């Protein structure tokens, strides 16, 4: 398959470059900036190289660079921001601290060239840089400029090498996606063959090749990643896949049943439901501290999974639904933003199996598309995030079966009303939280002293920051009425109007 390699110089946008090129149906992959020339030469169907942006200055003593032989390779090159400055610098040009740093949108004027095919003469781009190219070697000509900067895009006069100072991968660059497409299809001449069917086929082939006649075990949670991984593995190796579903009793109402019905009932996968509710409740008895709850659940989860996996016998591989984002974010040496993943369990180290990660080249939206093509329902693939420790961290204080039932019922009411009102697609995440305090109320003519339930609903893009959702009063009133009427022991409902920061999305 034709491939574009993006060399990573540490830009926060480097994943976006890969994604945008894939959106043009060309397979793209991120490599560290110091990948060797030989590695690239041995790649089949490498059609072009993109040098990403990055936070350093090309003239700094500790600047990142590339194996110089890469510039002698047969491939077209596109440098973005730092990448362009590096190209200019390596050819004898001069890069300096800019008189005026530029962050945000800018309007530029371009000269028509195949890099800018199907884009207008003046266009909006996204700038984010502190340096600029102030002198260009005669090997290059200028392709774009604006009123304060003369060199905003460059082109080599002899070779298919281009550079842009702005960030075409960011959506504020109005024609950025077109530019990356032009590079991939017209300049690098890659064939646009990367699509969902292709991704499924190549993932299946990879699994068959790796697993051979072996057997695989997978932890199925009902979340998007493990669900799609399960479907894919099942397609590839059928009954040699066993899914283990840890039913710890901390899921939302009906969720465990749905997982079993979908995977075992509808699709015929081998799923073992490990009914360990009592074990979790026992371990959580008398525990009030949120961090302690999380730790106990994480540890027990691994323990239960490990026991069951070993008991199966004859297992060779442990499959995980790791995504490309997880790999990039925890793995590249140049990446500056490293997200801490708080997934339950550290399964690979705990088990004597080889690891297989069939989704590890894919982004979340690609995984969703794959899931859809493999027959999984839309609702399952577009589920809102659900924390590994489940409802245990949505009830403050001790976890008991009675309190789990209370929060499950309230949550089911909230979800039902939001779905009916069409808010389920609109609001990023919503749930109820049972507080660890009681309040006075009046029911009939009686004074009561009962539980308080909070409603949390937020808008966000990645969970790192969030704003509370402005839900219409009438809808909140309806949810409140239903919860206080239908959920035994709850006589007060409050709405959480805190954003993140300073709050977090979950309460514990």
Q: Does 500 bind ligand XMP (CB under 6 A)?
A: yes
User: Dihedral of CA 363/369/375/379: which sign?
Assistant: positive
DSSP-based three-state secondary structure for 206? helix
Q: Does 390 bind ligand XMP (CB under 6 A)?
A: no
- Is residue 167 part of the annotated active site? The answer reads yes
Q: Which of 269, 304, 387, 454 binds ligand XMP (CB under 6 A)?
A: 387
- Is residue 254 part of the annotated active site? The answer reads no
Q: Does 489 bind ligand XMP (CB under 6 A)?
A: no
Give the up-direction half-sphere exposure of residue 219: CA atoms within 13 A in the CB hemisphere: 26
Q: Does 219 bind ligand XMP (CB under 6 A)?
A: no
**How is residue 12 annotated by DSSP?**
T
Cα distance between residue 427 and residue 471, in whole Å = 9
Joined tokens for residue 246: 């840890």
Per annotation, catalytic residue among 169, 255, 366, 508: 169
Token pair 């774009």: residue: 144
Q: Does 375 bind ligand XMP (CB under 6 A)?
A: no
Q: Does 459 bind ligand XMP (CB under 6 A)?
A: no
Q: Which of 264, 463, 484, 489 binds ligand XMP (CB under 6 A)?
A: 463
Q: Which of 388, 411, 454, 487 binds ligand XMP (CB under 6 A)?
A: 388
| Spatial contact of 488 and 448, defined as CB atoms under 8 Å apart | no
Write phi, then psi, for 41 (nearest 5 degrees): -65, -30
Q: Which is nearer to ligand XMP, 168 or 389 (CB)?
A: 389
Q: Does 188 bind ligand XMP (CB under 6 A)?
A: no
| Spatial contact of 161 and 77, defined as CB atoms under 8 Å apart | yes
Q: Can you spell out the DSSP letters for 312-370? A: H-S--EEE----HHHHHHHH-SS-S--PPP--S--HHHHSSSEEE-TTTT--HHHHHHH
Q: Does 506 bind ligand XMP (CB under 6 A)?
A: yes
Of residues 328-367, those binding ligand XMP (CB under 6 A): 342-343
For residue 140, the cross-strand partners are 156
Q: Which of 10, 176, 321, 389 binds ligand XMP (CB under 6 A)?
A: 389
Q: Does 325 bind ligand XMP (CB under 6 A)?
A: no
Cα distance between residue 25 and residue 27, in whole Å = 6
Joined tokens for residue 215: 């057997």
- Is residue 366 part of the annotated active site? The answer reads no
In the shown chain, the binding pattern of residues 410 to 449 toward ligand XMP, with x for contact by CB under 6 A and - for none, equals -------------------x--------------------
Q: How far is CA 414 from the centre of its chain?
A: 26
Joined tokens for residue 198: 């292709």
Q: Which is nearer to ligand XMP, 285 or 342 (CB)?
A: 342
Which residues of the shown chain bind ligand XMP in the complex (CB under 6 A)? 342-343, 385, 387-389, 429, 463, 500, 504-506
Residues marked as catalytic: 81, 167, 169
């Amino acid at each position: 398959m034709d491939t574009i390699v993006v060399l990573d110089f540490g830009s926060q946008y480097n994943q976006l470059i890969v994604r945008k090129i894939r959106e043009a149906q060309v397979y793209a992959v991120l490599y560290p900036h110091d990948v060797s020339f030989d590695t690239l030469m041995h790649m089949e169907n490498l059609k072009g190289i993109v040098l990403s942006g990055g936070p350093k200055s090309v003239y700094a003593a500790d600047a990142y660079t590339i194996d110089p032989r890469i510039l002698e390779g047969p491939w077209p090159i596109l440098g973005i921001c730092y990448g362009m400055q590096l190209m200019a610098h390596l050819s004898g040009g001069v890069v300096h601290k800019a008189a005026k740093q530029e962050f945000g949108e800018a309007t530029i004027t371009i000269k028509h060239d195949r890099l800018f095919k199907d884009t207008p003469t003046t266009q909006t781009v996204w700038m984010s840089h502190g340096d600029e190219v102030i002198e260009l070697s005669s090997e290059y000509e200028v392709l774009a400029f604006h009123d304060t900067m003369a060199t905003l895009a460059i082109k080599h006069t002899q070779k298919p090498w281009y550079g842009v100072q702005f960030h075409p991968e960011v959506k504020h660059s109005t024609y950025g996606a077109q530019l990356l497409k032009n590079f991939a299809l017209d300049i690098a001449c890659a064939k646009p063959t990367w699509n969902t069917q292709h991704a499924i086929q190549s993932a299946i082939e990879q699994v068959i090749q790796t697993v051979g006649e072996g057997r695989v075990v997978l932890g199925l949670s009902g979340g998007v990643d493990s669900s799609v991984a399960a479907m894919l593995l099942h397609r590839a190796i059928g009954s040699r896949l066993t899914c283990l579903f840890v039913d710890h009793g901390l899921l939302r109402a009906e969720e465990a049943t749905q997982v079993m019905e979908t995977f075992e009932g509808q699709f015929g996968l081998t799923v073992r439901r490990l009914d360990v509710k009592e074990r979790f409740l026992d371990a959580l008895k008398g525990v009030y501290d949120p961090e302690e709850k999380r730790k106990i659940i994480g540890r027990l989860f691994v323990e239960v999974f490990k026991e069951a996996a070993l008991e199966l016998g004859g297992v060779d591989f442990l499959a995980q639904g790791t995504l490309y984002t997880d790999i990039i974010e925890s793995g590249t040496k140049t990446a500056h933003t490293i997200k801490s993943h708080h997934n339950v369990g550290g399964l690979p180290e705990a088990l004597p199996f080889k690891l297989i990660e069939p989704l590890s080249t894919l982004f979340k939206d690609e995984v969703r598309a794959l899931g859809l093509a493999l027959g999984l329902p839309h609702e399952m693939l577009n589920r809102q995030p659900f924390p590994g420790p489940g409802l245990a961290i949505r009830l403050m204080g001790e976890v008991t079966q009675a309190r789990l039932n209370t929060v499950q019922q309230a949550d089911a009411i909230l979800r039902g009303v939001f779905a009916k009102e069409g808010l389920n697609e609109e609001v990023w995440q919503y749930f109820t939280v049972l507080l660890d305090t009681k309040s006075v109320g009046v029911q009939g003519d009686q004074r009561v002293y009962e539980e308080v339930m909070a409603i949390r609903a937020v808008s966000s893009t990645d969970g790192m920051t969030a704003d509370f959702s402005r839900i219409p009063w009438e809808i909140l009133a309806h949810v409140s009425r239903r919860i206080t009427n239908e959920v035994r022991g709850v006589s007060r409902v409050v709405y959480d109007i805190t954003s993140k920061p300073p709050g977090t999305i979950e309460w514990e």
